[in-house]
Structure 1
Amino acid sequence: MNTEYNTWHHPYKPAVKYKKKVAYFSMEFGIDQSFNIYSGGLGFLAGSHMRSGYELKQNMIGIGMLWKYGYYDQARNDDQTLRTEFNEKHFDFLEDTGIEVEVKLHDNPHVKVRAYVLKPEIFGTVPMYFLTTDVDGNDHLSRTITNHLYDANEVTRVSQSIVLGIGGAKVVEALGGADTYHLNEGHALPAFYYLKDQGVKKSQMVFTTHTPEKAGNEERDARHLNRCGFFGRTLSEAELKKESVNGGMINYTISALRMAKKANGVSKLHAKVANDMWKDYKGVSKIIPITNAQNQKFWQDASIKKAWANKKVKAYKTRKTILKKELFEEVFKQTGKTFDPKVLTIVWARRFAGYKRADLLLHDIERFKKLISNQKYPVQIIWAGKPYPYDYYAIDVFNHLVNHSKTEPNLAVLIGYEIELSKKLKCGSDVWLNTPRITREASGTSGMTAAMNGSVNVSTDDGWIPEFAKDGENSFVLPAIDYQLPIWDQDNIDANNLYDILENKVIPTYYNNPKKWQDIVFKGMDGVIPEFTSKRMADEYYKKLF
């Protein structure tokens, strides 16, 4: 083993208040466009955390997976509909640490896991270690475990959790161990089982949950997991029974909540929802709120920041026009449509999932047509985002939007929603549209980075929004509705409220009262900085969780 790597590779002496050694496990990290091993919000959040950890000189390392094909590459078929491509990725900025550990997977007791280090000086993060099973000496099947983020094959998914959890914990041991082990979501749950057997105490384990709906919290058959090697050893029938819930299942979130000394949700509303979700299960830890945030230095355009800090309206508008033109070059490149920087531009861009309702604007097609063909108050609308490659409902919604926008000169659907396009959309939009069904969005950090760049949030009152929004002052919020109503009714009410707000408030303000619009833009920035920057968040994790 290369001794240079047998250490926590910090280029700085950790700050006194952050000296506790923390190992942060996450299935995905969104750190840089060139390092495309992430799918969306969870990755963006983890990436911002690693950057702020570095900026604050925290004694932390990241443990992740080196996905050979990333998540997937978004392409188009001949008719512009979505095509998913899996292309091998190459990252020459990672260095082989020489650390190799073994995990038991199914009937194979010797699957090799190798760790590559991402040094802090590359992207300005804490040191990060990425695991791969694509290692000489592994059989073909073992080598493919780290091929695809969120592999559709159930058995592969379980193996990925074992590699990240147990493989990751063993890599941390090889690096001298940690004071605190933090799981960002339940994917790396096997780490807790393994560490417990190594004598790591409950007081050293903490957990973050991001998923406010029961169906989104992984649950698998306990006996099957036992055969797979999920627990680091074979559990007896009695031990298995103790770990099981819901008739012989292991629920990743419940197990993590039982083993962690403390857990957190990712907004105040989400912590409330999550505590309520799991309250009937014995022995679960309390879930406190630590609201998600994003890295200001990485996401905020420098000229926009300067104009906002000095409240220079002219400088802001000049820069915003340039940023809109940059976004519209991308629109032209992808769709052949010429967008106008003087026109109000609405963007809906995030992971394509059913509850996020990408197509809510099309709910009442007559009203939508009226909205997009108003000559007095023109609008331009852009959609972007990645559906899960095997979520055929979400792909169908994406394709429906593509087909609908083809014939309209002021509608566009873009592909390639990763960090680079995300930045362009946040910097170049006037309105950031966020339409999840209430209580289903744990946090929703894209609206934070959009606000940092002067894009005004128009949103349902979910996730982080209740902590930020002052309706009509720094954003526009849809009236609260009863989230226990049937989905059909929720969508009807929300869609009508959305049309009302756009027709009567958002669009007229933009065109008739530019001074008021500019005030909302700057107040949005005031509200988001520093409260929703990951500097605040990374500090809170040390204070409240670690």
Structure 2
Amino acid sequence: MTDSPRVAYFCMEYGLDHRLKTYAGGLGILAGDILKASKDLGVPMVGIGIRWADGYTEQSIGPDGQQVDGPQDSEADGLLEDTGVEVTVQIRGDDVRCKVWRTEAFGNVPLLLLDTALPGNPHADTTRMLYGGGDEARVAQEVVLGVGGVRALRALGLDVDLYHFNEGHALLAAFELVREKMGGGMDYDDALAATRDEVVFTTHTPVLAGNEEHPIERLRRIAGLDHVSDAQFDALGGSPFNMTVAALRVARKANAVAELHGATANEMWSSVDGRAEIVAITNGVHRPTWVDPAMLEAAATGGDLWAPHQANKRALLDFIAERTGQRLREDRLLVGFARRAATYKRAALIFEDEAHVRPALEEGRLQLVFSGKAHPRDEPGKAIVARLVEMARAYPQSVVFLEDYSMPIGRAMTRGADVWLNTPRRPKEASGTSGMKAAMNGVLNLSVLDGWWPEAFDPGVNGWQIGDGFESVDPTAHDAHDLGSLVSTLFDDVLPTYYDDRERWTSMMRASIESTRDRFSARRMVTEYVEELYRPALAEA
């Protein structure tokens, strides 16, 4: 797709490889897969991000079962190229130098990473830790990403047609584009209109409280932005200033990341006048990164799926034993759950009916493996991790918690589990790509009908549903409804099928792969970005 518009893709995090500590979770993994699929397709794209000195957070579990956070060791030596370019941004009125690194080491289009950790640099720790510090540190990081990112493109002579903001973190790039145009003689209104012709935006978080806001005074104090008045700030993003609202207003086109999320996002932001249309482009995953080619080959040729799956399962069991000393059984059902430890994802929901689950765990008929990090300041998320660790210690023969969730852990689990469990409170899961990876590996999804799963689920054919699309503003009622459905489906259908009907199980594995390998691939996603976002945005400009 070399005839695509030239795109600069801005994101706070990128999950390209576990050695490059530039990702925290799903947002970064998605961004990494987009850069790889763009390379595969020949899309003229360049990524813009930050080189984080300490990465996100290295998770360990203390003797008391609580999450302990520490810096991640950098393994970027030899993976990044020094461009020899530095750009300068203003943070709190100081000139801050940003070194520009580049990598194409992972089968990706070029990725530029900005770095403030330079000798004698004021605010050198701005790029120390991904999502580290408080709200003021976040604004400073967003200055580096947005303003510094645009200036890096200029310094390197990279011409682009469109600027794609993945979440609101990149919004300050739009202010830099406006500043450039005003410097060329336009007034603010004309500069904003011209900038809108160049911007597209992806929104993810379907929870109002999760969309970043700042007092206008904070933005001005940290980022400067003297070319914009308070009234112009207010007109764009309100007061306090909402980054998502402003991004929707400054973008020519916007997208949600699943069909259900598209409906949710359009309803959620329906009161925002002058916003971009939000279309649904469902996320996808980069098959060469995440999917075992032996499983794809067996499904495509009608070959045996059980043997390659069992090989992946043994690899996961060996990985677990090496990491934890716990040895699970190959001949027993293994259920996987790996994602960010956020409360709405309800990782520990299954244990709320311990009376039903306990016998199956004690007998070893049911095995559970979990992984996931809580943000260092997310105490409810840390409580979820502690609960999972408590259950792993209570049932060491059947329950495992893998510390320090990472790309290698995600890859091993989405290949080697038998079932992939997903229990978000609908409709709070925007998409959820781990289930796509599992499905393409023949791992059967047992999931709430949220995110991507309503588009993929074929009842009785390629997996199972939890609940019936139930939603409630009462979390207690919501949890009770979904827990009842989870337990009944697990014990009445999943377990009997696994142990008593191998033919049906492998038929469902084949259907899972065949129904997802193309439809939920990053190739399809990036193709739709070009056809439904990039080209239409330029055509309407």
Assess same fold via TM > 0.5.
Answer: yes
Deviation at 1:360, TM superposition (A): 0.5
> Aligned pair count?
519
Q: What amino acid is the match of 1:34? A: R
Summarize the Cα distance change of 1:88–1:323 in structure 2 as closer, same or farther, 3 Å threshold: closer
Q: 2 CA distance for matches of 1:261 and 1:275?
A: 15
In structure 2, the residue matched to 1:166 is 147
Contact 1:152/1:390 (<8 A) preserved: no
In structure 2, the residue matched to 1:128 is 111
In structure 1, the residue matched to 2:22 is 37
Contact 1:363/1:492 (<8 A) preserved: no
Match of 1:407 among 386, 394, 401: 394
Match of 1:73 among 47, 58, 67: 58
Match of 1:306 among 293, 297, 303: 297
In structure 1, the residue matched to 2:240 is 249
Instruction: Show structure 2 runs of 5+ residues with no match.
Output: 182-193, 535-541
Match of 2:173 among 179, 186, 191: 191
Deviation at 1:82, TM superposition (A): 2.3
Q: What amino acid is the match of 2:334? A: T
In structure 2, the residue matched to 1:212 is 206
- 1:523-546 deviation line (CA, Å, top 9, x unaligned): 011111100000001111111111
Q: What amino acid is the match of 2:63? A: D
Match of 2:223 among 221, 225, 229: 229
Summarize the Cα distance change of 1:194–1:511 in structure 2 as closer, same or farther, 3 Å threshold: same
Query: Per the alignment, in what secondary structure is the counterpart of residue 542 of structure 1?
Result: helix
- 1:486-530 deviation line (CA, Å, top 9, x unaligned): 000000010010000000011101111110010111101111110
Deviation at 1:98, TM superposition (A): 1.4
Contact 1:426/1:432 (<8 A) preserved: yes
Match of 1:293 among 277, 281, 284: 284
Q: 2 CA distance for matches of 1:21 and 1:477?
A: 40
Match of 1:262 among 241, 253, 271: 253
2:446 paired with 1:458: yes
Give TM-score scaled by structure 2 length: 0.93
Q: What amino acid is the match of 1:207? A: F
2:511 paired with 1:523: yes
Q: What amino acid is the match of 2:131? A: Y
- 1:4-49 deviation line (CA, Å, top 9, x unaligned): xxxxxxxxxxx4432x210000000100111121011101111110
Query: Per the alignment, in what secondary structure is the counterpart of residue 103 of structure 1?
Result: strand
- 1:184-214 deviation line (CA, Å, top 9, x unaligned): 1110110011112323531211000011110
Q: Which residues of 2 match residues 11-50 of structure 1 at below 5 A? A: 15-18=1-4, 20-50=5-35
Give TM-score scaled by structure 1 length: 0.93
Q: 2 CA distance for matches of 1:360 and 1:311?
A: 37
Q: 2 CA distance for matches of 1:290 and 1:67?
A: 29
Summarize the Cα distance change of 1:88–1:424 in structure 2 as closer, same or farther, 3 Å threshold: closer
Name which of structure 1's ranges 209-218 and 360-369 shifts more when overlaid on structure 2.
Answer: 360-369
Summarize the Cα distance change of 1:166–1:505 in structure 2 as closer, same or farther, 3 Å threshold: same
Q: 2 CA distance for matches of 1:76 and 1:485?
A: 33
- 1:68-93 deviation line (CA, Å, top 9, x unaligned): 00001122323554221114414121
Q: 1 CA distance for matches of 2:298 and 2:412?
A: 18
In structure 2, the residue matched to 1:366 is 355
Q: What amino acid is the match of 2:59? A: Q
Contact 2:195/2:250 (<8 A) preserved: no
Match of 1:61 among 46, 69, 76: 46
Name which of structure 1's ranges 262-271 and 388-397 shifts more when overlaid on structure 2.
Answer: 388-397
Q: What amino acid is the match of 2:478? A: Q
Q: 2 CA distance for matches of 1:305 and 1:312?
A: 10
Q: What amino acid is the match of 2:471? A: Y
Q: What amino acid is the match of 2:80? A: L
Deviation at 1:244, TM superposition (A): 4.3
Q: 2 CA distance for matches of 1:87 and 1:41?
A: 18
Q: 1 CA distance for matches of 2:394 and 2:349?
A: 19
Please give the root-mean-square deviation of Cα atoms over the aligned residues, in Å: 1.4
Q: 2 CA distance for matches of 1:24 and 1:382?
A: 35
Deviation at 1:280, TM superposition (A): 0.7
Q: 2 CA distance for matches of 1:480 and 1:544?
A: 31
Q: 1 CA distance for matches of 2:391 and 2:39?
A: 45
Q: What amino acid is the match of 2:99? A: R
In structure 2, the residue matched to 1:326 is 315
Q: What amino acid is the match of 1:176? A: L
Name which of structure 1's ranges 509-518 and 169-178 shifts more when overlaid on structure 2.
Answer: 169-178
